[in-house]
Amino acid sequence: MSQNREQWGSKIGFILAASGSAVGIGNIWKYPSIAGENGGGAFTIVYLACILIVGLSIVVAEFVIGRKTQLSPVGAFEQLAPKTNWKWVGYLGVAAAFVILSFYGVVGGWILKYIVDSFSGGFIELSGNTKAAEATFNSFITSTLSPLIYQIIFMGLCIFVIIKGVKGGIEKWSKIMMPLIVVLLGALAIRGMTLDGGMAGISFLFNPRFEDLTASAIVLALGHSFFTVSLGMGTMITYGSYLNKKQNLVTSALWVIFLDTAIALLAGVAIFTTVFALGADPAQGPGLIFVILPSIFPQIAGGTVWATMFFVLLFMAALTSAISILEVVTAYFIDQKGWSRKKATVQFGGIITIVGVFCSLSLGAEVIDGNGQDVGHGINLTGFLGMSFFDFMDKLSAKYMLPIGGMLTAIFILKKWGLTNYMSELKIGMDKMDLSSLLVRALLTISASIVAFIIFNEIYFQITGKALIG
Ligand code: PHE
């Protein structure tokens, strides 16, 4: 354990940084779009249940491992289980960081471009015209150069924050951006609710229609609960490793989960009230943010300002998450290889950006113009995967890497490290709060079993074409 390891400056700083990691594109883009496609309220209920059962116990587990070892994932598993294969759970996390950040950085770039477009009044010509908004979005993401420029700027900002370190970079920027996200989103939600017909959006989001609740929506909700609270790749181990022994890890985890969920729901309210007030289609999937919103914002008073606010807050949410992903990789090279923070950040931030370039290019591999001609640049890296490289990286991380990492973390505590050791670290900083180890064991066991089943179901589906559920 190095003597001069960096630490958080304050309790609130740590909670804001960890919730900054959790609150991201997952909350504001993915959650509303999958809830919209999967029946709204019913999906929301399953999602909340998954977060409370599986999410909470694994966030606490990651914090405990990080604080105990004061190391990032690879070193942490190695210290708690020396000379075993458990360190591979840590390596899986570092690999997942590469995979996620490569496409996350591309989406971060799209958001920057949409800030520029909305601010310069570019959405006005898309007003009420979903087709035009869709064509604009598609032609942007499939073009060769301009998405790359925005992606590189986004990744540059990410590197800039991480280089400044834990307290002077991550904590400082999270303390500025997290409150701003809440304020901007709150204003957008109030604006949406006061639009004529906006309240229909709220009942869509919260009224459970169980006939819409398919088994595949349940699987989706579980996978999403890992992604949205940044679980399964050691982000929370890394952030927990910068803690001293004074924090109550259960209340910290509850705060992170609460903020993450509250912001996802608030984003749902802001988006669906506006969508319903203007009679747009709520089940647009991924196009909800980049296609539907640009076509409806110009129709409300002050639309340019509201649209710019929305994309600025989405950018801040994306940046605070992206830095937490890069920090996992950076911390690995600092802890295990003795590199300087600057060298680790620049080198690996750069490599991830290059992988991201291929994610972006894979979307424009094939572009059919109005005459049926393929005018794409043909860089179709993963034709054999049956999907673009971008989608492959997204699916690989959300469906496999994060759930498997989370499941192995729970199993590690139950089977290797031992509940007694785990509980004695967990209880430090908890003062009077009592926690039954039976409950902790039950929650970790339930979480590991649910995830194991879901992963098995997914692999079974990939092999046989039939799912056990879903
Ligand atoms: N939680 C982030 C989001 O919701 C994504 C993320 C996943 C961040 C894994 C870190 C690790 O967008």
Cβ of residue 324 lying under 6 Å from some atom of ligand 1: yes
Beta carbon of 454 within 6 Å of any ligand 1 atom: no
Q: What is the pLDDT of residue 379?
A: 64
Among 34-43, 318-327, 374-383, top mean pLDDT goes to 318-327
**Going from the N-terminus, what domains does the chain have, and what CATH number goes with each?**
11-464 (1.10.4160)
pLDDT of residue 250: 94
Give tens-digit pLDDT for 179-190.
999 999 999 999
pLDDT of 383 reads 56
Q: Which atom of ligand 1 is nearest to the CA of 24?
A: 12
Does 291 contact ligand 1 (Cβ within 6 A)?
no
Per-residue pLDDT band at 148 (split at 50, 70, 90): very high
* Residue 1: predicted pLDDT: 47
Query: CA dihedral defined by 184, 189, 191, 192, rounded to 10 degrees?
Result: 140
**Calpha distance 438→13 (Å, rounded):** 32
Mean pLDDT (the chain) is: 91
**Residue 139, C-beta contacts closer than 8 angstroms, at least 6 positions apart:** none
Residues 277-324: pLDDT tens digits?
998 888 777 788 999 999 999 999 999 999 999 999 999 999 999 999
Q: Which numbered atom of ligand 1 lies nearest the CA of 402? A: 9
Instruction: State the distance from the centre of ligand 1 to the C-alpha of 132, rounded, in angstroms.
Output: 31
Read off the pTM. Answer: 0.93
H helices within 194-338, ranges in order?
199-206, 215-228, 235-240, 249-277, 287, 293-296, 303-337
Residue 377 pLDDT: 64
Cβ of 235 less than 6 Å from ligand 1: yes
Nearest 5°: the CA angle 37, 287, 283 is 25
